[in-house]
Amino acid sequence: MLSNISWNTYFLFIATLTISYYIIIALLFYRETIQRLVTRNASAGDETNTSSRIIQLTQPQTEDVPQPHSLTNDAEDLDTIERIVNEIRYEVILKAGSHVTKEKLLVVFKNYLGTISGNFPMTFKNSITSLLIKEAVEQCHISFTKEEIEAIW
């Protein structure tokens, strides 16, 4: 049976199989990107959409232009966020000790959150809450609910 298959047929089958594999992988993992590309290319042929896009590009938008002062604040905010994340991961939970209870860890979190200075947006607080929950599970095998952590903010 194998003697009936030529090298040409074998290579054609392998090439078809390889191409099919990569198409399936692309569709599974890059579906949203492909949809955006197809949608953008389909809307590029629409004249009304193109003219409205030109009008949008010609009108100055001052809220999109970053000011030098906000760049400094963003850099400082990023440094602060990075410091807080590192402190939670490598210092705060370790302060609780090796045989920590849920109540003790909650007190440690409350004390730490009281030391954080700054007026952070709600998205930042949600991220820190999620990080505290994740690190407590990973490092101490103690699970918290989102409401328990939000109560100590």
Q: What is the pLDDT of residues 78-88, one digit of tens each?
A: 788 888 888 88
Q: Is the pLDDT of residue 75 over 80?
A: no
* CA separation, residue 63 to residues 45, 57, 60, 66, 99 (Å): 29, 14, 9, 8, 51
Tell me the pLDDT of the chain averaged across its residues. Answer: 78
- Does the pTM surpass 0.75? The reply is no
- Residue with the bigger pLDDT between 152 and 12: it is 12
Q: Is the pLDDT of residue 23 over 80?
A: yes
Q: What does the chain come to in residues?
A: 153
> What are the sequence ranges of the domains in the chain?
2-62, 68-151
Over range 116-123, report the average pLDDT.
73
The secondary structure of residue 45, as a DSSP letter, is: T
Query: What pLDDT score was predicted for residue 74?
Result: 67
Distant-in-sequence, close-in-space partners of 129: CB < 8 Å, separation ≥ 6: 146, 149, 150, 153
Burial of 88-122, coded b for 16+ CB within 10 Å and e otherwise, reads beeebbeebeeebeeeebbebbeebbeeeeeeeee
Q: Report the alpha-carbon distance of residue 144 to residue 137 in Å, rounded.
A: 8
Q: Which of 16-20, 38-42, 74-78 has the highest mean pLDDT?
A: 16-20
Query: What pLDDT score was predicted for residue 68?
Result: 41
Task: Identify the weakest region by mean pLDDT among 35-44, 60-69, 106-115.
Answer: 60-69
Q: Report the alpha-carbon distance of residue 43 to residue 37 in Å, rounded.
A: 10
Q: What is the pLDDT of residues 139-149, one digit of tens each?
A: 888 889 899 88
